[in-house]
Amino acid sequence: FVHRNLAWLVAAAFVGVAVHFRREAMLKGIWPLLLGAVLLQFVLGVLTVLTQVQLVLGVLHQQGALVLLAVLLVALHRTGRVIPS
């Protein structure tokens, strides 16, 4: 239940980030990658649940999380902004 809500939260956060940074020149080429990573992760998650956590889909879903994290880090790096600690 929590994991599914987190998926919706990530999707909503993506929309918020996309709206906020839509005019950033540094992020122009990264939007298709971000959208693809979020959609892929969402679809893999749904398929994993529907197949009752088939091993291959579970592993792909885990790898999708790494891809999504990597794309987000590239986007953050391109903005040149520092997250306060």
Residue 39 near residue 26 (C-beta atoms within 8 A): no
pLDDT at position 85, please? 67
Q: Name, in order, each residue with C-beta under 8 angstroms of 27's C-beta and a sequence gap of 6 or more.
A: 21, 75, 78, 79
pTM confidence score? 0.75
Per-residue confidence in pLDDT tens, the chain, 85 aa: 788 898 889 888 888 877 777 777 777 788 888 888 888 999 999 999 899 989 999 999 999 999 999 988 888 888 877 667 6
Residue 41 near residue 64 (C-beta atoms within 8 A)? yes
